[in-house]
């Protein structure tokens, strides 16, 4: 079995990518192989993970692990389909997604480009918006009774990270507290507006 470093070296060489340049790139850049296993993440990835430590993000992924497993279940079909299209058409896929913290509203612009020589992909996430949350996100205190569902599971949106009320009303609230310290048992869903965004 060739080591990850060996595979990376080989893929970068074939695809004509200068890893040294990615090392100093501000955008979060990563490479995956043809089976969507992470083979390289640049330092911007790590810095992002450190800055957001405690936000419950799944960024602590060792190289060699599957990218799709790092994506919340409700969003997997969307990303699978996106990568499939890039592979099929050879065209770059562009998509904007939210990656907010409790304090900051952030939107990233994602580009997925095929590495045709290797069957892998390079993914570039550039910060598009970073601003304090607006008034449309009234911070709710996170009174447990309002959000604890069956078996004490709290359901949060995989994308905007709002929390679903457990009264069956399908209302999704902005509860910053749950981003800072995720509830013990979280289930990932998609709120009504994000469902429409990903699966129109
Ligand atoms: Zn949402």
- Taking the centre of ligand 1 as the mean of its atom positions, its distance from the CA of residue 135, in whole angstroms, is 16
Average pLDDT over residues 74-79: 96
48: pLDDT confidence band, cut at 50, 70 and 90? Answer: confident
Tell me how far the alpha carbon of residue 98 lies from the centroid of ligand 1, in angstroms: 9
Range with the poorest average pLDDT among 1-10, 97-106, 123-132: 1-10
How far apart are the CA of 131 and the centre of ligand 1, in A? 18
Of 2-11, 12-21, 64-73, which range is least confident?
A: 2-11
What is the percent of the chain with per-residue pLDDT over 90, rounded to a whole number?
56
- With the C-alpha atoms ordered 56, 58, 61, 65, is the resulting torsion angle positive or negative? positive
168 CA → ligand 1 middle, Å: 16
How much distance in Å is there from the Cα of 50 to the middle of ligand 1? 24
**What is the Å distance from ligand 1's center to 162 Cα?**
6
Domains and CATH numbers, the chain: 4-132 (3.30.450.20), 144-198 (no CATH)
Distance, CA of 200 to CA of 47 (rounded, Å): 33
Q: Which of 32-36, 55-59, 134-138, 160-164 has the lowest mean pLDDT?
A: 55-59
**Residue 162: what pLDDT?**
95
pLDDT at 57: 44
Is the confidence at residue 105, as pLDDT, over 80? yes
pLDDT for the residue numbered 52: 64
* Ligand 1 centroid – CA 41 distance (Å): 26
């Amino acid at each position: 079995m060739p080591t990850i470093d060996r595979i990376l070296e080989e893929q970068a060489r074939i695809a004509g990518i200068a890893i040294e340049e990615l090392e100093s790139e501000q955008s979060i850049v990563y490479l995956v192989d043809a089976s969507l296993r992470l083979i390289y993440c640049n330092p911007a990835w790590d810095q992002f993970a450190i800055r957001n430590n405690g936000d419950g993000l799944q960024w602590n992924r060792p190289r060699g692990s599957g990218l799709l497993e790092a994506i919340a279940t409700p969003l997997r079909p969307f990303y699978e389909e996106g990568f499939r299209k890039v592979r099929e058409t050879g065209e770059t896929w562009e998509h904007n997604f939210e990656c907010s913290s409790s304090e900051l509203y952030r939107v990233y612009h994602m580009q997925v480009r095929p590495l045709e020589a290797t069957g892998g992909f390079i993914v570039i996430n550039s910060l598009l918006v970073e601003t304090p949350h607006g008034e449309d996100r009234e911070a709710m205190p996170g009174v447990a009774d309002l959000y604890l569902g069956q078996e004490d599971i709290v359901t949060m949106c995989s994308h905007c990270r709002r929390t679903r009320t457990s009264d069956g009303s399908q209302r999704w609230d902005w509860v910053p507290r749950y981003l800072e310290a995720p509830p013990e048992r979280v289930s990932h869903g998609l709120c009504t507006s994000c469902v429409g965004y990903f699966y129109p």
